[in-house]
Amino acid sequence: MFSNLANLLRYRGLIASLVARELKARYRGSMFGFFWSFINPLLLLLIYSFVFTSIIPNEDAKTRPYALFMFCGILPWTWFATSLSDAAGSLIAGGNLIKKVLFPAEVLPIVNVLANMVHFFLGLTILIVFLVVYQKMPDPWDLVWFPIAVIVQLVFTTALGLALAALAVHFRDIRDILANLLTLWFFATPIIYPYFQPNVQKFRPLFNVNPFTHLAISYQEILFFQGPIGHWKWLLGLGAASIPLFLGCYWMFDRLRDSFAEAV
């Protein structure tokens, strides 16, 4: 298993070019091409802005503008959720490679996670532009935590992506279960409502069990809320837990590896 993990480093060139291909191919043939990576989040942000200023005006000064607050959680969530659903289908979609070419299968879900990370970064630039426009400049010291949050999320997402990819080969229903589970998970995470809301606090232990709660809160504190990061212990804790999770998921992936060529 560890030699396979080490091999993964050797494949970084392959992973890089596959990520590039994924990004290029996604918008190939469309008129705006790569700009869709900006247009999509921009439109989403405009819609939220309209809804939360004109239709349901936000009363709480702390979370104003509400659309930006939500956006801080939605962007990483989109990365997370899309990565998982892409990864779950990755081995099946890449069946040709696994069956016909000597190909390190774990590259496929990893490429999905990384390609979605690039989209996350592109969406982030839109967010930053709007943060500047609304004069919500994040504290520079807070920003030190940003790469840490990204790395934690990357490890966590990759771990789950590997596990889902391997299992989905054998249990195709996982992809449908996952789609529903992700919707549930989205609403169970303080993304479109703030964590400090009294109703959320009532169920606090439950929210704390949800790993994405800590990622969402971390991003919100880093990018949106003023003041020092109060949630860093949880973030680091999640990071520490993600490493054994990753190893466990990778171990399972490795165990199932030989069955892929036949089951895909």
Partner 1 sequence: MKAAIELTNVSKVYRKYSGKQFSTLKSAFLQRSILRDLRPSEVFPALTDVSFSVARGSTCGVIGRNGSGKSTALKLVAGITKPTAGTVRVDGRISALIELGAGFHPEISGRENVYINGIMLGLTKSQIHSRFDDIVEFAELREFIDAPVKTYSSGMYMRLGFAVAINVDPDVLLVDEVLAVGDEGFTHKCLDKFAEFRRRNKTILLVTHSLNLVEKFCDDAVWLNNGRAMTHGDPKRVVGSYLAAVEESEEKLLAETTARAVEDAGRKGREGREGEQAEERAADPTSNMFQATEGRWGTREVEITEVVFSGADGQPAHIFHSGDPMNITVKVRSRQAVEDFVFGIGLFNAEGVCCYGTNTYLEEMNPRRLSGDADATFAIDGLDLVEGTYKVDVAVHKRDGAPYDYHRLLYTFRVKSRVHDVGIYRPKHTWRFSPNVVFSRDQG
Q: Which of 172, 202, 204, 233 binds partner 1 (CB under 8 A)?
A: 172
Segment interacting with partner 1 (CB under 8 A) among 23-31, 121-129, 152-160, 204-212: 23-31
Q: Which of 2, 121, 171, 187 binds partner 1 (CB under 8 A)?
A: 171
Q: Which two tokens stand for residue 91?
A: 């081995």
Q: Where does residue 130 fall: left (phi above 0), alpha (psi -120 to 50 degrees), or beta otherwise?
A: alpha
Neighbours of 246 (CB within 10 A): 20
Instruction: Return the DSSP state at 226.
Output: -
Q: Which two tokens stand for residue 190?
A: 């303080």
Q: Which two tokens stand for residue 16?
A: 């890089």
For position 24 contacting partner 1 by CB under 8 A, the verdict is yes
For position 259 contacting partner 1 by CB under 8 A, the verdict is yes
- Give the x-and-dash track for 71-110 against partner 1 (CB under 8 A): -------------------------xxxxxxxx-------
Q: Which two tokens stand for residue 114?
A: 């990384």
Size of the site for partner 1 (CB under 8 A): 29
What gap in Å lies between CA 211 and CA 11, rounded to an integer? 29
Provide, rounded to whole angstroms, the least separation between the CB of residue 184 and partner 1. 18
Residue 59 or residue 258: which is nearer to partner 1 going by CB? 258
Residue 18 or residue 70: which is nearer to partner 1 going by CB? 18
Q: Which of 1, 7, 17, 35 binds partner 1 (CB under 8 A)?
A: 17
What gap in Å lies between CA 116 and CA 187, rounded to an integer? 21
Q: Which of 13, 147, 205, 227 binds partner 1 (CB under 8 A)?
A: 13
The SS3 assignment for 199 reads helix
Alpha helices (runs of H) in the chain, residue ranges in sequence order: 2-10, 12-27, 36-50, 66-93, 95-100, 107-133, 140-143, 145-170, 174-187, 198-202, 204-209, 211-223, 232-263
Provide, rounded to whole angstroms, the least separation between the CB of residue 120 and partner 1. 22
For position 12 contacting partner 1 by CB under 8 A, the verdict is no
For position 125 contacting partner 1 by CB under 8 A, the verdict is no
Q: Which of 14, 51, 128, 200 binds partner 1 (CB under 8 A)?
A: 14
Residue with tokens 């919500």: 136
Residues engaged in binding partner 1 (CB under 8 A): 13-14, 17-18, 21, 24-25, 28-29, 96-103, 167, 170-174, 255-256, 258-259, 261-262
